[in-house]
Chain A
Amino acid sequence: MFGTVLVANRGEIAVRIARTCRELGVRVAAVFSTEDEDAEVLRHADAAVRIGPAAARRSYLHIPAIMEAAFKTGADAIHPGYGMLSEDPDLADVCARSGITFIGPSRDVLASFGDKIESRRLLSAAGLPVLPGGVKSAASVAEMHRMATEIGYPMIVKAVAGGGGRGMEVVEDPADLPAAYARVRSTAEILFGDSRLYVERYLRAARHVEIQVLCDAYGNGVYLGERDCSVQRRHQKLVEETPAPGLPRELIATMGDAAVTAALATGYVGLGTFEFLVDAQQRFTFLEVNPRIQVEHPVTEVVHGVDLVAEQLRVAAGEPLVSGIGDDARGVAIECRINAEDPDRSFAPTPGTLTEFVPPGGPFVRVDTHCRTGTRIPAAYDSLLAKIIVWARDRPAAVARMRRALRELRIGGPGVHTTRDLLVDVLDDPEFGEGTHNTGTLDRFLTSRGSRPQTGQPRAAAREGLESARGLARKLVADG
């Protein structure tokens, strides 16, 4: 097992990783930017290094800074968390050359899965069914028109270098295609530095069901159940659960076996998630691979009795999979994401200070967070504040427990809005209660709720961002 692990991330996942390291007797090295001087992970770290200013690209995303911090702290491994550099083949490469273990798949596997067209091709060859489209990138709007006509509408325009729900847009009608092409192209260039686009058929009312895969370095692989993440806003997950309600276990077993076979065929080592869409006829198609730990990993941990971060560390340290891991699954787990966003203003981020934060507790309630009363929410990073996870013997009991836990949470601060109240409404919704919801449910729910329509227009977002900035500026002045 490693002597020291450098946690190359921040927020709740940094705390998560540090906790497991502590349980395994592994020394924790943390990094922080000037915006995170009072980060929660520092309370769980044996060493900490300030690596840069607020901007992620100059701190958490800056490979030289991460590596220097690893050298300074004597780390023999780096855990990249999720987001940030977790899927960056360059970090994996630099680690390999520096004799530091990157906790994740190899540079080559990350490069393959980072290219969504290559990823589709690879996994289709390994036996996974894929949606029509995605054979090559479209060099022009005209070419995209031709491809879209072939695969049919509605279709979705996606960034080749994208993923995680960003840099994608559904197109219902050919007339909307040129504008969507332009928007996704510019987003892709900014977010991923790669403006290549492709198209895929879009399944409107599908279930998002993902398989948790774990492979060791000796050719052994298992799947640890599935997660249903169908409650999404613009492809961003808000509620996740396991097992997927109402889907036959035989279907899940077929998907799970297919995912493990495909993972092993690509030489995958470590934890990974294979995302699928399941249509109304219970046919499944492959969406993408997330070659890292995921935000919603706790629901799997709770139902399967596994510490997934510990498994990542063990596999990376060269240990073989323990036989029987993942065989036990009990009950139902649900996770809700509490984000610092205002659902009534197109989910505009609301940075600020949490003057109140009291998480729920009680039987079978778990809260993964980096927040406490007084935590500052910086504007520079993502808006996830906390994940509330509940377990119960069956789904109605889990839903009831989550409804109780959400209401028990006390969270707020000047100018801070969260998704908590929206989640309460979602959990109270009959469609969710019956488990008949799909990926279109939340967007319909939001529209009927009368919240401001999500225009997706850059100017609207800029205006709201400007108002946030003004509010923030006033706050800076008030605090001196």
Chain B
Amino acid sequence: MTIHHSSAGPPDAGPPSAADAVRAAVADLLACVSSPPDVLRVRGTEFSVELEWIDPNGARNVPVRQADQEPPAGNPGEPDPELVAAYLVSPSVGVFYRGPEPGADPFIDVGTYVEAGQQIGIVEVMKLMIPVEADRAGWVVEVMKADAEPVEYGEPLVALADPGRGMG
């Protein structure tokens, strides 16, 4: 897990001990939460600490799956929550493209096995094409957005199942 230091504040927020104290406070905080966040952001000067757990249902904790639990009833079109281990989300507001250019084959489809770092799509922001990459390995269970569909920051694009779960 990487701690990102925002450059929005001065690089040295006072004497070295202040920065060390921030790190210590953040480490204390992380020791206390029930599950490690997916992203931690620490800003300088005004000092904001942001922890993010990526979960499209808005739940604050990573759900614990139990083998003997009934799978929750959902719409027929949604992926089986038992299978889905993670969602790949949009890095920005913009327009989502499934392939490298119009008319080309999509990067991935349902059933594709992706490696960590593999490109799964593009989000266009004001003519800038941002590649969207998988942050982990897994099987594509569902693609939630259509080609050329507008998306929001953090909106789920692709649902992945654990590599260990075969698609058979």
In the complex where A53-B153, A462-B14 touch, is A477 in contact with B33 (Cβ < 8 A)? yes
A416 within 8 A of B: no
A71 to chain B: closest residue by CB: B150
In the complex where A51-B93, A51-B153, A459-B15 touch, is A466 in contact with B125 (Cβ < 8 A)? no
Residues of B within 8 A of A94 (CB): 126
- Which listed segment binds A: B19-27, B66-74, B101-109, B134-142? B19-27
Judging by beta carbons under 8 Å apart, are B10 and A190 in contact?
Answer: yes
B29 within 8 A of A: yes
What's the minimum C-beta distance from A454 to chain B, rounded to whole angstroms?
Answer: 17
A31 to chain B: closest residue by CB: B93
Against B, the Cβ 8 Å flags (1 = close, 0 = not) of A24-61 are: 00000000011100000000000001111111010100
A310 within 8 A of B: no
Residues of B within 8 A of A476 (CB): 29, 33, 49, 51
Q: Which of B32, B49, B50, B93 lies in contact with A65, CB distance below 8 A? A: B93
Judging by beta carbons under 8 Å apart, are B6 and A55 in contact?
Answer: yes
Judging by beta carbons under 8 Å apart, are A472 and B49 in contact?
Answer: yes
A463 within 8 A of B: yes
In the complex where A65-B93, A472-B49, A473-B49 touch, is A466 in contact with B153 (Cβ < 8 A)? no
Residues of A within 8 A of B99 (CB): none
Q: Interface residue tally of chain A, by bracket?
A: 35 or more
B13 within 8 A of A: yes
A322 within 8 A of B: no
Q: Name, among B10, B29, B152, the residue most crowded by chain A CB atoms within 10 Å (CB to CB).
A: B152
Judging by beta carbons under 8 Å apart, are A54 and B50 in contact?
Answer: yes
Judging by beta carbons under 8 Å apart, are B14 and A67 in contact?
Answer: no
In the complex, what distance in Å separates the CA atom of A226 from the CA atom of B14?
42
Binding site secondary structure of chain B? loop
Against A, the Cβ 8 Å flags (1 = close, 0 = not) of B45-69 are: 1111111100000001100000000
Judging by beta carbons under 8 Å apart, are A459 and B14 in contact?
Answer: yes
What's the minimum C-beta distance from B149 to chain A, rounded to whole angstroms?
Answer: 10
Judging by beta carbons under 8 Å apart, are A54 and B41 in contact?
Answer: yes
A480 within 8 A of B: yes
In the complex, what distance in Å separates the CA atom of A349 from the CA atom of B48?
11
In the complex, what distance in Å separates the CA atom of A476 from the CA atom of B26?
11
In the complex where A52-B92, A190-B10, A469-B25 touch, is A64 in contact with B126 (Cβ < 8 A)? yes
What's the minimum C-beta distance from A328 to chain B, rounded to whole angstroms?
Answer: 43
- The number of residues on chain B lying at the interface, defined by a beta carbon within 8 Å of a beta carbon of chain A, is 41
Residues of B within 8 A of A186 (CB): 10
A63 to chain B: closest residue by CB: B126
Residues of B within 8 A of A52 (CB): 92-93, 153
Q: Name, among B18, B33, B34, B153, the residue most crowded by chain A CB atoms within 10 Å (CB to CB).
A: B153
B94 within 8 A of A: yes
What's the minimum C-beta distance from A90 to chain B, rounded to whole angstroms?
Answer: 11
What's the minimum C-beta distance from B167 to chain A, rounded to whole angstroms?
Answer: 31
Judging by beta carbons under 8 Å apart, are B154 and A55 in contact?
Answer: no
Residues of B within 8 A of A68 (CB): 92-95, 125-126, 150
What's the minimum C-beta distance from A55 to chain B, rounded to whole angstroms?
Answer: 6
In the complex, what distance in Å separates the CA atom of A190 from the CA atom of B11?
10
In the complex, what distance in Å separates the CA atom of A297 from the CA atom of B45?
30
A306 within 8 A of B: no
B117 within 8 A of A: no
In the complex, what distance in Å separates the CA atom of A379 from the CA atom of B8?
14
Residues of B within 8 A of A470 (CB): 25
Judging by beta carbons under 8 Å apart, are B154 and A67 in contact?
Answer: no
Against A, the Cβ 8 Å flags (1 = close, 0 = not) of B127-139 are: 0100000000000
Residues of B within 8 A of A34 (CB): 50, 52, 153-154
A175 within 8 A of B: no
A52 to chain B: closest residue by CB: B153
Judging by beta carbons under 8 Å apart, are A53 and B125 in contact?
Answer: no
Residues of B within 8 A of A469 (CB): 22, 25, 47-49
In the complex, what distance in Å separates the CA atom of A64 from the CA atom of B125?
6
| A interface residues (Cβ-Cβ under 8 A, vs B) | 33-35, 49-55, 57, 59, 63-65, 67-69, 71-72, 94, 186, 190, 349, 351, 378-380, 458-459, 461-463, 465-466, 468-470, 472-473, 476-477, 480
| B interface residues (Cβ-Cβ under 8 A, vs A) | 6, 8-10, 13-15, 18, 21-22, 25-26, 28-29, 32-34, 41, 43, 45-52, 60-61, 92-95, 125-126, 128, 150, 152-155
Inter-chain pairs besides A65-B93, A68-B126, A466-B22, 8 sampled, C-beta below 8 Å: A34-B154, A49-B93, A53-B52, A64-B128, A465-B13, A472-B49, A473-B29, A476-B33
Interchain Cβ contacts under 8 Å between A and B, 27 examples: A50-B152, A53-B154, A57-B8, A64-B94, A67-B126, A68-B92, A68-B94, A68-B125, A68-B150, A69-B93, A71-B150, A72-B150, A94-B126, A190-B10, A190-B45, A379-B48, A380-B46, A459-B14, A462-B13, A463-B18, A466-B18, A466-B47, A469-B47, A469-B49, A470-B25, A473-B49, A477-B29
